[in-house]
Amino acid sequence: MTIVLGDNQYGKSETHVVRVTRNGATHEVKDLNVSVALAGDFGDTHLTGDNSKVVPTDTQKNTVFAFAREPIGEIEDFGIRLARHFVNEFASVYRARVSIQECAWERISAEGKPHDHAFVRAGSEQRLASVTCTDDGTWVVGGIGDLVVLKSTGSEFHGFVKDRFTTLPETHDRILATSVVARWRYAGTDVDWRQSHAEIRRLLLETFATRHSLSLQQTLYAMSEAVLEARREVAEIRMTMPNKHHFVVDLTPFGMANDNEVFYASDRPYGLIEGTVTRDDAPEPGLAW
């Protein structure tokens, strides 16, 4: 029997960096969670404990902070700069992947106008980016996390398989709610990241709102299709959409009717819908995912 070391990587996860940019009295805030993963010629540290080729995770953390000293810009660009640094700077590194979560802050309104340096957290939604760099190329994946959406009608679910364990009633009018995680692979790196992200987000939300839904699967596909049809810079999109179930409460024991007005929101268990939609002319993903 031969035992061999398989694919491996290591890195520093969730370095939380907050960057304040001061333009006179007006400040801007960038709030990022940055994770770095390196792969390369690190077999000896696994097999013999020889760390001579290992870039310490503490160094990776400090690099994130040092790079944040310069203007961060869009998180995709920041990820590209970091990933290329690790590949170009260290001979033992052949692949660097930098994953970034950005949390948004909005200005607090004071005396009828946005405050210069006071902010409120803009909900749970996160902007996502993952950059993978090798000597052969750079791949960028953008995304959105925890985009919580709900519509109170315009959704049905019926005609499904039934057996002796089925208790779910068919419905032609239900609440549809989910927390969207969407990741999309870009076809290249010559992209206006901010504008692209904003338009993709708009397309996802508009499609969710306006398309009549016969299932969350159908909604997932329609949202993905809308992005791929409108945004040629996107090669592929992957969606994860948990079904945040809302059940009509039976008020008949209390002599009350409930015409789809009072619901019980169940947090678990929940249906988890996942899917990938790709353009047939999309370039190969390389190491993007």
In this structure, the answer to whether residues 52 and 111 fall within a common structural domain is yes
Structure tokens at 15: 């370095």
222 neighbors 204 (Cβ within 8 angstroms): no
151-187 residue pLDDT tens: 999 999 999 999 999 999 999 999 999 999 999 999 9
pTM for this entry: 0.94
Does 168 reside within a domain? yes
Q: Which of 84, 101, 135 is the last residue of a domain?
A: 135
pLDDT for residue 226: 98
Residues with active-site annotation? 12, 57, 245
123, 151: one domain: no
Token pair listed for 146:
């925890």
- 35 class by beta-carbon count within 10 Å (0-12 exposed, 13-18 middle, 19+ buried): middle
Q: Provide the CATH number for the domain around residue 285.
A: 3.10.270.10
Residue type, 255: G
pLDDT in tens, 59-112: 999 999 999 999 999 999 999 999 999 999 999 999 999 999 999 999 999 999
Confidence class of residue 130 from pLDDT cuts 50, 70 and 90?
very high
Assign 2 to helix, strand or coil: coil
Beta bridge partners, 264, equal 247
Q: Which residue type sits at 249?
A: V
pLDDT at 82: 98
> Nearest-CA neighbor of 171 among 161, 152, 156, 159?
156
pLDDT, the chain, mean:
97
Last residue of a domain, which of 113, 135, 157? 135
The per-residue pLDDT for 247 is 95
What is the domain range of residue 231? 147-289
Cβ-contact 97, 83 below 8 angstroms: yes
- Confidence at 150, pLDDT banded by 50, 70, 90: very high
Q: What is the rounded average pLDDT of the residues 268-276?
A: 97
